Amino acid sequence: MDQPGSPAPGSADRRTELAADRTVLAAERTYAAWVRTGFAALASGVGAKKVMGGVLPEWGVLTTGTVLVLFSAFCFVAAIWRELRAGAPPPEPDVRRLPRFLLFAVNGFLVLVCFAALLGVWFGRTTG
């Protein structure tokens, strides 16, 4: 149902507002994709330590785990960067945006988790 004072359905103004809504939702999907990729890289980096322990030399295991965990931290930072640099401001959307402070807090915590995992990769046991 349209809000009072909103453009008539089918008008160019209404289509522009709906495009703004789609832009907000697309930005959220992009954010989610960066975070999902970061989680996958983090799990792979930590798992590489255990899985590749008897297969590769120690330096190979550490390098692989380190690169994957650092890529994970990059993904979490890139998610926020893309959120901040969304491009030209669209018309005011009807869809409410996720609070930016919440995104900063969550991704900041995830970057700290990456650095803790990096310490685990560097100083944890390679073989069981």
81 sits in which H/E element: helix 58-84
User: What residues in the chain have per-residue pLDDT under 50?
Assistant: 1
Per the domain annotation, does 5 fall within a domain? Answer: no
4 sits in which H/E element: none
Q: Which residue has the tokens 């992009």?
A: 30
Model pLDDT for residues 6-38, shown as the tens digit of each residue: 666 667 777 877 887 888 888 889 899 999 999
Per the domain annotation, does 114 fall within a domain? Answer: yes
With left for phi above 0 and alpha for psi between -120 and 50, is residue 20 left, alpha or beta? alpha
Q: What does the pLDDT read at residue 63?
A: 93
Range of the domain at 21: 12-123
Per the domain annotation, does 113 fall within a domain? Answer: yes
Is the CB of residue 96 less than 8 Å from the CB of residue 116?
no
Per the domain annotation, does 51 fall within a domain? Answer: yes
Closest Cα to residue 40, out of 17, 74, 6? 74
Per the domain annotation, does 101 fall within a domain? Answer: yes
Specify the number of domains making up the chain. 1
